[in-house]
Structure 1
Amino acid sequence: MDEKSSLLSRASAEVVDLHRFFVDWFVAGSADRADFSRFERVMNESFCMVAPDGQILDRDAVVDHVRVSRATCDGDFTISIEDIRASWQADDAIVLCYVETQQRAGKHSRRRSSAVFTTSSSAPNGVEWRHLHETWLQVSEG
């Protein structure tokens, strides 16, 4: 596997793995087995997020929000990640675009995300999150 496809596969695995962590962390029945330090390790110190409502959040705000949201779902919470693709790539950085679908308490939401990753030897998948931008996608009610 060449370096470019390796970076794509590592960043793609990170997207899937982090959202798996979110499900475990937010669902009361699985929160005890979720490793919060794993989440903290993959968020670069200068991480920034543009939330779907346009709010800009720094790393501390995102980490704090996730920390206090532990076990806040009773079990009806799922996340699926679809259509992962690279939109730009360099030797040690990549921008991935993907669609995240959530189901929570019978309600569905979808968002298109673009995320910037850089290589990091200490991160579980060898990449860390640098920037995330999420935009709501309309869900048909039919």
Structure 2
Amino acid sequence: MTIDWRYTVHDGLGVLSVAGHLGPEAVRRFGGAVGWALTRGTGPVVVDLTELRGWSAEGQLAIADAARRLAEAGRALELAAIPADGSLVPAGDGPPVPVHVDRAAALAAHRSGRRAERGEERQEWRTTGWPADGPAPRAAGQAGLSNC
């Protein structure tokens, strides 16, 4: 079992949404999604786990590794909507990983004190398995990815 992901950049904030089960089989794909976020954004990255059915210890360590990778690039990682089992990413020696109750709370935390700029372009990339919530995506020129 693997994961599907969608990465959206809007208002200077990246949101990496993950669906499926973040287990040993999905760690590499998740690392690729984090790499995608590193090259296509500049601000903090909220990992939205609303659609995640669960995660293993390896998946939790992949989140901690992502936090380190982002911190090395001068960016922060935050979590939204951790799985229902209430387990958290191990603290370890990495950067702190703030946790928000859901995606809306994470977005609200970043909007407070900041006015959204008018006309800012919103970009989105996702795996082809991500549930479509609009018109069919345009090809992004890379196998298995869509740029909406």
Bin of the TM-score, shorter chain as denominator length: under 0.3
TM-score relative to the length of structure 1: 0.28
More helix by share: 1
More strand by share: 1
